[in-house]
Amino acid sequence: MDTNCKWTFAELSASHFHNGPQDAMIEAFKGSPYAALIREACQNSCDALAEGQKRVRLSLTFGSLNKCDYPNLFDLRSHIQGCLTLYPDDQNTTKVFRPMLYILNKSQIPYLRVSDYNTTGMSFYKDLSGKPRGSFYAFVRSGGHSEKTSSTAGGSFGFGKAAYFQISGLRSIIVSTQNTEGKNFFEGISSFCTHQIGSEYFDGHGFYDSTDGIEPNTSLENIPMAFRRSEPGTDFFILGTDQYTYQAKEDMAKAALRYFWAAIIDGSLEIEIDNILISKETFNDVLNRFFPESGDDAIRNHFYKLNPRPYAEVYRLAGTAENFQLIEKDLPLLGHVKLYVNIDPDCNRDKIIYMRKNKMVIQTEMLRNHYGAYCVFVCESERGNELLRKLENASHDKWDKSNYTVNNVPNEDGKEALKEIDNFVQESLRSIFDRETNGTIEVEGLSEYLASSESLLDEMDSLVGRNSDELFGLPTDYPSPKETGSPITTNSKPNEDNPPREPPILITTDGTIGADVTDGRISEIGPKVTINRIIHQNSQKLKVQKIRKNLHFLILLVILSHWLFNQE
């Protein structure tokens, strides 16, 4: 069943440089390993969409291999033990490699298979000088190197493969691909550390093939049956994973929704995680299952905990109602950009997510504003995508001027591009919210409370906590978003814990039409609610919050002054 394939680790001299067990890139993905895998796998597959195809399909399935059927594939015990032999007192070596021996004791070795379809597959060739080239070579046999050249490509550092090894309990993966020309390439790779077997030393990277580790297998006869690819695309077998773990599936499903909801809504990406299908057609149901809340309350670690629902809503429904705004503009450096704004009275801290043309969430931020808005920034132009790509870090979750340097100095275009984004976002938000925020609010009887800091703060606490309609004089018979539910509806059955919801209300430009757009139709279902009321309510809340903050500062200042006076 191994078809003459076996592991080859290059032999080293005793004086050769030794690589220890700590892999910085693998460690970088340790915090959220399955989320990192989804980000890497989805962006790699989306970058490889085949000509004439409109949707990339990505499948992640758990399975197992019978160890007896692949004796050479799992003949890694001596090399794993060699790592422990060379670093006997290193706690990290014990932590990483000792569990591998337990995995190899099993008769069935679990794996996670990541497969894509409607893609070009990977390439492998040699240039005129005989040096190997292509995306297969870059993934399997090089580090810190990428063969991606498109401005919309997700990865450009070549470090993303570490996300696959982080999931593997054996730090070993199998890669099998077929390109659009019908050529197959196959090879396995292990990422250990320098190790010692007897008196001999071996390199930490081993290759599973029938060429003694020289190059990948290209003949179907030399590719084990379980790993043969019969159509264009690529399979990754991540060996030694936790098998059939519900938490792993949930983490991957949430990550797919968090970071690729726009591509899924556009219909350019479909992801299946065992029996969980996430596509344009199933998006509502899956979103309701994993993100039933209407708002995004994540503050700490917002990137890994954000709720995509309010952002997905405005992306889908922009222009159908006045609380779903879309502003577009051509910027000097970045070209055509868009800002989607979801106006939500229940949003206490404005938040924004940033994307390029590939529709993967790059970074998230909490804005300095308190308008009550969830925002989505998208750069649509080719030149803007190329510039922003250079500003991304290795894990593709942040734009920073320090990532695009010339002679170790931040490039001016990079710095200006980030300023363009910030100015565009702030100007757009002001153009929406400053319509109704020119007045001032008077808190009746405020002067009576200045003599007592305790009673003043208690009163302000009660005001901020009071029903916003009562506080600002708005009609109290308008249902809140929490009462009416989200425009993205839920199909869960009503029960005692989940009472039936009122029809969702969307606010139209004339303030008279509500709409449920989940089926693509608009119908009159709600009372008149205008955007001015929402803006007025948010602005008044903001002013009370500012007054309270200033009073806190004033009271602390008085206390400090009194204390200093007494010290004298």
Residue 62: what are its φ and ψ, rounded to 5°? Answer: -95, 145
Cα–Cα distance measured from residue 117 to residue 529, given in angstroms and rounded to the nearest whole number: 46
Res. 443 pLDDT band, cuts 50 70 90: very low
Buried b vs exposed e over 318-357: b needs ≥16 C-beta within 10 Å? bebbbbbbebeeebebbbbbbbbbbbbbebebbbbbbbbb
Give the pLDDT score at 159.
59
Exposed, middle or buried: residue 477 (CB in 10 Å: 0-12, 13-18, 19+)? exposed
Cα–Cα distance measured from residue 373 to residue 311, given in angstroms and rounded to the nearest whole number: 10
Res. 406 pLDDT band, cuts 50 70 90: confident
The DSSP code for 343 is: E
How many other CB atoms sit within 10 Å of the CB of residue 133?
14
Cα–Cα distance measured from residue 544 to residue 440, given in angstroms and rounded to the nearest whole number: 10
pLDDT above 90 covers a percentage of the chain that reads 57
- pTM of the complete model: 0.76
- In the predicted model, what is the mean pLDDT of the chain? 80
How many other CB atoms sit within 10 Å of the CB of residue 13?
7
Pairing between β-strand 335-343 and β-strand 324-331 as defined by DSSP bridges: antiparallel
| CB of 397 closer than 8 Å to CB of 363 | yes
Cα–Cα distance measured from residue 140 to residue 172, given in angstroms and rounded to the nearest whole number: 11
Res. 554 pLDDT band, cuts 50 70 90: confident
Give the pLDDT score at 224.
96
Of 82-86, 103-107, 538-542, least confident by mean pLDDT is 538-542
Does residue 446 have a pLDDT over 80? no
Residue 449 or residue 11, greater confidence: 11
Cα angle 112-194-171, degrees, rounded to a multiple of 5: 5
pLDDT tens digits along 58-83: 999 999 999 999 999 999 999 999 99
How many other CB atoms sit within 10 Å of the CB of residue 295?
18
Cα–Cα distance measured from residue 333 to residue 343, given in angstroms and rounded to the nearest whole number: 28
Q: What are residue 41's DSSP bridge partners?
A: none
